[in-house]
């Protein structure tokens, strides 16, 4: 974890930041959590990827804890067509414990139905906070 300290000159310095593979973790979240219809596998992924007391924020939901996040994702998936998938657009980037991943969703061979961005705050190598932003629909 990054720490601030003061040099003798009074100038703040930043210590070595916690190493986080933002791309691997955020893409795993998209595939193993948001594309997973099996609740047992989704809960296992949440144990691997999320802090126990993590929070999910999207335009319609606030969920706290892995079980609540699993339930929220399960409800989302149940409301979508069965072949609907979330796919990354490029690689996730991040620094100082915060990562960003652009994504798109829709049928695998069909038109894109929605696009958005996930912003995640990591603690201890796991997602502590996930903010899901949906892009406005052109029209």
User: How far is residue 49's CA from residue 33's CA, in Å, rounded to a whole number?
Assistant: 9
pTM of the model: 0.85
More confident residue, 96 or 17: 96
User: What structural domains and CATH numbers belong to the chain?
Assistant: 20-134 (3.10.450.50)
pLDDT greater than 50 at residue 136: yes
CB-CB contact of 21 with 126 (8 Å): no
pLDDT greater than 50 at residue 4: no
Lowest mean pLDDT among 6-20, 50-64, 71-85, 122-136: 6-20
What does the pLDDT look like over 8-48, one tens digit per residue?
444 333 334 568 899 999 999 999 999 999 999 999 999 99
User: How far is residue 121's CA from residue 100's CA, in Å, rounded to a whole number?
Assistant: 9
CB-CB contact of 100 with 92 (8 Å): yes
2-to-45, 69, 93, 96, 123 alpha-carbon distances in Å: 27, 28, 17, 7, 11
Tokens standing for residue 79: 């409301």
Tokens 């990054």 belong to residue: 2
Mean pLDDT, to the nearest integer, of 80-97?
95
Closest CA relative to residue 3, chosen from 19, 15, 20? 15
* pLDDT reported for residue 139: 65
């Amino acid at each position: 974890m990054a720490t601030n300290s003061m040099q003798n000159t009074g100038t703040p310095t930043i210590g070595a930041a916690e190493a986080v593979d933002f791309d691997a973790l955020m893409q795993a979240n998209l595939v193993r959590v948001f594309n997973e219809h099996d609740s047992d596998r989704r809960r296992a992924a949440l144990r691997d990827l999320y802090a126990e007391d993590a929070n999910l924020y999207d335009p319609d939901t606030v969920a706290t804890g892995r079980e609540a996040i699993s339930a929220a994702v399960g409800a989302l998936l149940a409301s979508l067509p069965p072949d609907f998938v979330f796919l990354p657009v490029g690689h996730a980037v991040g620094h100082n414990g915060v990562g960003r991943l652009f994504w798109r969703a829709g049928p695998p061979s069909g038109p894109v139905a929605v696009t958005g961005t996930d912003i995640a705050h990591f603690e201890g190598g796991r997602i502590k906070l996930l903010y899901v932003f949906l892009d406005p629909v052109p029209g």
